[in-house]
C-alpha cells in the first residue's frame, strides 16, 4: 500500500477544506498514474484526513520506480492546485 501525506495543519473547523484537498489530490494524480489494467488508479482512497493511499498490491513498487512518485510530479507540475481546492471549499481564494 502506498501512502502520501498532505498538509494536516487545518484547524478542526476546516474539515471540508481538508476533504477537498484530499479528494483533489486523488483526482489530479489520476493523469500521472501508470495504467495497465486500471487497478492502481481505481485503488486510490482517503485513508484519513490528510492521508491518501493507493491500496493496489503493487502501488508501493510502482511509486518507487522511475517515473513513479505521481503525487510529487503532479505537485511540481501544478503548484498551488491543492491550496486552490481548499480555498474554493471555504469560499475564498489563494493569494499569489
CB 59 within 8 A of CB 43: yes
In sequence order, which residues have a C-beta less than 8 Å from that of residue 20 and are 6 or more positions away? 85, 86, 88, 89
CB 68 within 8 A of CB 60: no
The per-residue pLDDT for 96 is: 63
Q: How confident is the model at residue 1 (pLDDT cuts 50, 70, 90)?
A: very low
* Segments making up each domain of the chain, as ranges: 2-89
For residues 56 and 96, give the distance between their C-alpha atoms in angstroms, rounded to a whole number: 37
pLDDT tens for 30-41 read 999 988 888 999
Q: What is the DSSP string of 47-96?
A: EETTEEEE-STTHHHHHHSTT--HHHHHHHHSTTHHHHHHHHHTT-----
- Give the lowest-confidence range in 7-21, 34-48, 51-65: 7-21
**What is the chain's length?**
96
Amino acid at each position: 500500500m502506498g501512502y502520501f501525506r498532505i498538509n494536516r495543519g487545518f484547524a478542526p473547523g476546516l474539515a471540508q477544506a481538508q476533504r477537498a484537498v484530499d479528494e483533489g489530490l486523488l483526482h489530479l494524480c489520476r493523469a500521472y498514474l501508470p495504467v495497465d489494467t486500471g487497478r492502481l488508479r481505481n485503488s486510490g482512497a482517503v485513508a484519513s484526513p490528510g492521508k491518501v493511499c493507493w491500496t493496489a498490491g503493487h502501488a508501493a513498487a510502482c511509486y518507487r520506480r522511475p517515473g513513479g512518485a505521481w503525487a510529487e510530479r503532479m505537485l511540481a507540475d501544478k503548484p498551488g492546485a491543492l491550496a486552490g481546492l481548499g480555498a474554493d471549499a471555504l469560499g475564498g481564494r489563494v493569494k499569489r
